Amino acid sequence: MLNEWLYLGIFLVIALAIPAAALLIAGMLSPKKPNPIKDSTYECGMETVGVSWVQFKVQYYIYGLIFLVFDVEIVLLYPWAVAYNKVALFGVIELILFIVILASGLLYAWRKGALEWV
């Protein structure tokens, strides 16, 4: 039993060490010659006019998060739909609980006005 955890620990150390070593080597070998042209803001080949910092409305992120929630819901509901005849009663109750939790999140967002396009 301990031997299996040892393999997992070795894998974790290697998985963290390789990207860290790559970033460290790239940081040491990369040329460091800053100048005003390299530090300027670049947007699609056009020179920026005015402040280049643009704030987006939080509304866009809320829509994106709600889309992701229901996208993940579809991914998780598909296996249940495929194996519906083979699922025990516990699986069906779990499915109903999952849908109720997601529906309550949608209802909360709806009542808070997060879905209103202002």
Q: What's the pLDDT tens digit per position in 42-75?
A: 666 666 666 666 677 777 888 888 888 888 888 8
Q: Is 62 exposed, middle or buried (0-12, 13-18, 19+ CB in 10 A)?
A: middle
- CA 3 to CA 83: how far, in whole Å? 36
Q: Assess whether pLDDT exceeds 80 at residue 33.
A: yes
Tell me what pLDDT residue 38 has: 77
- What percentage of the chain exceeds 70 in pLDDT? 84
**pTM score > 0.75 for this model?**
no
At residue 17 the predicted structure's pLDDT band, cuts being 50, 70 and 90, is: very high
Query: Is residue 80 within 8 Å of 87, Cβ to Cβ?
Result: yes
Tell me what pLDDT residue 5 has: 87
Tell me what pLDDT residue 21 has: 97
- CA 32 to CA 54: how far, in whole Å? 29
Which CATH number is 2-112 given? 1.20.58
